[in-house]
Amino acid sequence: MTKNNLNIGLVGYGFMGRTHSNAFLQAPRFFDVPYQPVLKAVCARNAERVKAFAANWGYESIETDWRALVERKDIDLVDIASPNDTHAEIAMAAARAGKMVSCEKPLGRNAAEAETMVAAVESARVPNTVWYNYRRVPAVTLLKQLIDEGRLGRVFHYRAQFLQDWTISRDLPQGGEGLWRLDLAVAGSGVTGDLLAHCIDTALWLNGSITDVTAMTETFIKERKHALTGRIEPVGIDDASAFLGRFQNGSLALFEATRYARGHKALYTLEINGEHASARWDLHDLHRLQWFDHRDEGALRGWRSVHMTDSDHPYMKHWWVPGLQIGYEHTFIHQFADFLDAAARGSGVAPTFRDALATDHVTDAVLKSARSGRWESVAVAARAGAA
């Protein structure tokens, strides 16, 4: 059966632009999706580089101004993979133009900015999603199923870490292409909005709302040369962030993120402890779920390592034979396949813009608590769709 084309316009050609482009190409090859994705156009400011990117990935055309991309009648989905300070303006313009919108995380540099984006997509009623891809690691998806089935019982604790080490050098500049994450005006925050945001999104999905937090942050190197101005300037982002919190279900939260954990490149771990069972997951071993069930027979009770390769594990029936693993890039393929299914029904797919707004409210509270030195409540967004 012939499928309708879905013409994609990508904004940004960096690391995330590559992961998204791969997902656009691979999803229809492994999943029975209702659309045929077409890589119609890619947009970036550097014409020479964007031409090379387009040629490599198979985009039919290029733009150097995102406004021209959004205005094109032959674009159905605008995918935002550009720095954080561009998310809101592009997303709102795309929604007003009636385009589907997908956006890299975090949604906004703060919750106020994200609120305007949520209002735009909900007012326009366009399908939308935010690329919090770790929800679609098969092991994490299975953990969600086990929690929803009540296998853990009452939850007592949730803890997560995201550790990196790439900004330790004092010689590293801030700002500009490749290092915009170190520029407060562009990024909105440091590890709180970058790494902790991933941990928080997964936690909200698995364990429900966070109501209160108490946090501390630290900027270890106070000044850096700015790549654009050439001047030594204050560093405004947080290099490390940690917080305690309470979930609405009464469980306790412990979160940490840093770019100053020497030896760790992308160590994202989570653990959840319940009345009957516990589970833990590690991005470095992403195809395994560690599981402990106290109801197991006493002599055999202990932690087990469940290898996510069988066809009855989430998403795995679409891939290889049992025993063969998948990786990081597949999480984006899974999300895009789910998005296409939802878009055919006229809806977005979780995490939607509104779901991602909830994460921005938590990161706002974390940063506020770090400044105030007090416990802070997490704001709850009103339903824009009900207005």
User: In this predicted model, what pLDDT tens digit does every residue of 143-185 receive, in sequence order?
Assistant: 999 999 999 999 999 999 999 999 999 999 999 998 999 999 9
3-state SS assignment for residue 285: helix
> Is 42:72 a contact under the CB 8 Å cutoff?
no
Residue in 140, 133, 137 with CA at minimum distance from that of residue 326: 137
The rounded distance, in Å, linking the Cα atoms of 106 and 10 is 17
The overall pTM is greater than 0.75: yes
Q: Where in the chain is the domain with CATH 3.30.360.10?
A: 134-350+360-369
Neighbour-count burial for 67-85, b at 16+ CB within 10 Å, e otherwise: eebbebeebbbbbbbbbbb
Residue segments in the chain with a per-residue pLDDT below the cut of 70 = 1, 381-387
- pLDDT in the model for residue 383: 44
Residues ≥6 apart with Cβ < 8 Å to 343: 6, 34, 35, 77, 100, 127, 349
Q: Which CATH number fits domain 134-350+360-369: 3.30.1490.20, 3.30.360.10, 3.90.400.10, 3.90.850.10?
A: 3.30.360.10
The rounded distance, in Å, linking the Cα atoms of 36 and 73 is 18
- pLDDT in the model for residue 224: 98
Q: Which CATH number fits domain 4-133: 3.40.718.10, 2.60.40.1840, 3.40.50.720, 3.30.360.10?
A: 3.40.50.720
Angle at 89 between CA 87 and CA 95, to 5 degrees: 95
The rounded distance, in Å, linking the Cα atoms of 359 and 356 is 5
Helix axes of 328-344 and 15-30: crossing angle, nearest 10 degrees: 60
CA distances from 248 to 141, 192, 203, 204, 330 (A): 21, 21, 12, 10, 32
CA distances from 145 to 97, 205, 207, 313 (A): 37, 11, 12, 11
> Is 10:21 a contact under the CB 8 Å cutoff?
yes
- pLDDT in the model for residue 1: 67
- pLDDT in the model for residue 386: 30
